Chains A and B, each alone.
Chain A
């Protein structure tokens, strides 16, 4: 069983089990309250699932892509929770959770869902978006990422997608997501772990440099 935390958009926390699926999940769409809500949400999923801390075999962190400030709250929490348990941190690309949930809904025959290559798009603020391109799912039901995650101006997306989905004659479905499910994130981790798949690096995916330029020395105060 795993505790999963994602703060790349809003805040989402879940306890998942490979066989039983999502045991408890809490989500908050507000993108300005990560630090406030994360503690109560972790406590809530532990209480609701009645899973003992010692039963957790790792802690999943959504590594983004996500705007800086909020993204760090979840990664910091996941890392220290893992440290306290003496269990591994499992880093997962947050977009993979969006794609996983989408393809799982298709597989379950949810009305309106259909199988097609998928372009996941999330808000990067400052009039930019984060994107990842998926061809579909593999034999485990895990999303197959063709390209990304990347950062782009919205008008550059069609050309980027055409390139990424070249093998599919440029045909794809676009999914703009405002929420990431920690439950889906956790299931991606469970399935990857069981299959011995490698995880992404334990590095936050800011995809942007700090917004600052080196000083050019003092400015004159006398005109």
Chain B
């Protein structure tokens, strides 16, 4: 996204690509969001910051026998789930399709073939309805999810900015500094190899546990000793912290766990699965929270927002609560249904862009598997 100019000439350039002929509702827009960046087909409907529908069709079961997300399997599932999910979301929201003010869709980052299904569907939907389209960033969408958690029931105050956001899933491990949801998001660091969720899946396989690994490791770890085995904390040594202060690495940890387990097996010992699970989980969560809290301190930002499917992990939430409390940092964790990939967060970000006065995206955007977080909306 081009940074806003402070020397705007007196005239504003009209949008040549806005298909809609009626003025856009910019106070409380009804937005349908489409998310297909990985293995979840998500259709969400929001009105402003009020969540009306959040339908998620996951192809996770189809990936289980392959031990991980297979892009082609995911993309095929998106195509089959798209129309049923749109129908289900409309029913859940109790609205007609022609009532919506705009369509919002994930343009990236994510799996290219999967993203393209959503992009094709969203463009056709917007044109058929003669409504504007907003192409948005998936990772920034995760941050936007928090707005829906507070908007509906008013149980807590809206998120203040700036905030640090830690997004952890099977595909991403990213630390963001969000100064303004629709205008200023900076990537502080990300994984340089495996995503945290991927490490859980791979270690689960080493321990003979099914995919996805997170819930199984979490369950076993509850009965284990997190200090039984000291597994390495990636990129936390002083020399690494100089260059990769906010970056993550979980590949070495995964290999360390595999070596430890193989050594025990080769010695004919019984593998203490609960201790391995607990110690591995502790190593991941320790690094995640350590770096997130450091970012809060370094930037003087007393707010931390968590997002992504790995937030389902009990220890992530527990340690986040402990460490933020100790450091005087406000912790925000949206409900799990808004933390995993979903269309509601994409709709929420689209609504924010509309309320911020942004013009719609052109019809020419594509799927960008490596879309940077600085590009909040693809024009």
Seen from chain A, the residues whose Cβ lies within 8 Å of a Cβ on chain B are 5, 7, 33-40, 42-43, 46, 53, 68-69, 72-81, 83-85, 204, 206, 210-215, 217-218, 220-222
| Shortest Cβ distance from B116 into A: residue | A35
B272 on the A face (CB < 8 A): no
Given contacts A210-B70, A220-B262, A221-B255, contact A35 B127 (CB under 8 A): no
B45 to chain A, nearest CB (A): 14
Q: Are A74 and B120 in contact (CB under 8 A)?
A: yes
A46 to chain B, nearest CB (A): 7
Q: Are A42 and B75 in contact (CB under 8 A)?
A: no
Q: Are A69 and B116 in contact (CB under 8 A)?
A: yes
B273 on the A face (CB < 8 A): no
B24 on the A face (CB < 8 A): no
Name 16 extra pairs, CB < 8 A, besides A80-B122, A80-B128, A81-B127: A35-B119, A35-B120, A38-B120, A39-B124, A42-B123, A76-B79, A76-B118, A76-B124, A77-B120, A80-B82, A80-B124, A83-B97, A217-B208, A221-B259, A221-B262, A222-B263
- Provide the residues of chain B in CB contact with A206, threshold 8 Å: 76
Chain B: interface residue total (CB-CB under 8 A) = 52
- Provide the residues of chain A in CB contact with B119, threshold 8 Å: 35, 73
- Provide the residues of chain A in CB contact with B68, threshold 8 Å: 215
Q: Are A39 and B73 in contact (CB under 8 A)?
A: no
Q: Are A35 and B124 in contact (CB under 8 A)?
A: no
- Provide the residues of chain B in CB contact with A204, threshold 8 Å: 76, 79
The contact of B65 among A69, A77, A214, by CB within 8 Å, is: A214
Q: Are B82 and A76 in contact (CB under 8 A)?
A: yes
Cα of A212 to Cα of B72 in the assembled complex, Å = 9
Q: Are B66 and A214 in contact (CB under 8 A)?
A: yes
- Provide the residues of chain B in CB contact with A76, threshold 8 Å: 78-79, 82, 117-118, 120-121, 124
Cα of A210 to Cα of B75 in the assembled complex, Å = 10
Cα of A157 to Cα of B51 in the assembled complex, Å = 55
- Provide the residues of chain A in CB contact with B83, threshold 8 Å: 79-80, 83
- Provide the residues of chain B in CB contact with A36, threshold 8 Å: 364-366
Q: Are B129 and A84 in contact (CB under 8 A)?
A: yes
Cα of A36 to Cα of B124 in the assembled complex, Å = 12
16 contacts between A and B (CB under 8 A): A37-B364, A42-B124, A43-B127, A53-B130, A68-B72, A68-B113, A72-B76, A76-B78, A76-B117, A79-B83, A80-B83, A80-B124, A212-B72, A215-B205, A218-B258, A222-B263
Q: Are A85 and B263 in contact (CB under 8 A)?
A: no
| Shortest Cβ distance from B118 into A: residue | A76
Closest 6 CB pairs of A and B: A39-B123, A39-B363, A84-B128, A77-B124, A215-B67, A73-B120
Given contacts A34-B116, A38-B120, A73-B117, contact A212 B70 (CB under 8 A): yes
Cα of A7 to Cα of B72 in the assembled complex, Å = 17
B159 on the A face (CB < 8 A): no
| Shortest Cβ distance from B131 into A: residue | A84
- Provide the residues of chain A in CB contact with B117, threshold 8 Å: 72-73, 76
- Provide the residues of chain B in CB contact with A210, threshold 8 Å: 70, 72-73, 76
Cα of A36 to Cα of B361 in the assembled complex, Å = 12
B290 on the A face (CB < 8 A): no
Q: Are A77 and B205 in contact (CB under 8 A)?
A: no
Q: Are A38 and B258 in contact (CB under 8 A)?
A: no
B151 on the A face (CB < 8 A): no
Given contacts A77-B124, A204-B79, A221-B259, contact A72 B72 (CB under 8 A): no
Given contacts A80-B83, A214-B66, contact A222 B120 (CB under 8 A): no
The contact of B128 among A40, A81, A215, A220, by CB within 8 Å, is: A81
> C-beta contact mask, B125-169 vs A, less than 8 Å → 1, else 0?
111111001000000000000000000000000000000000000
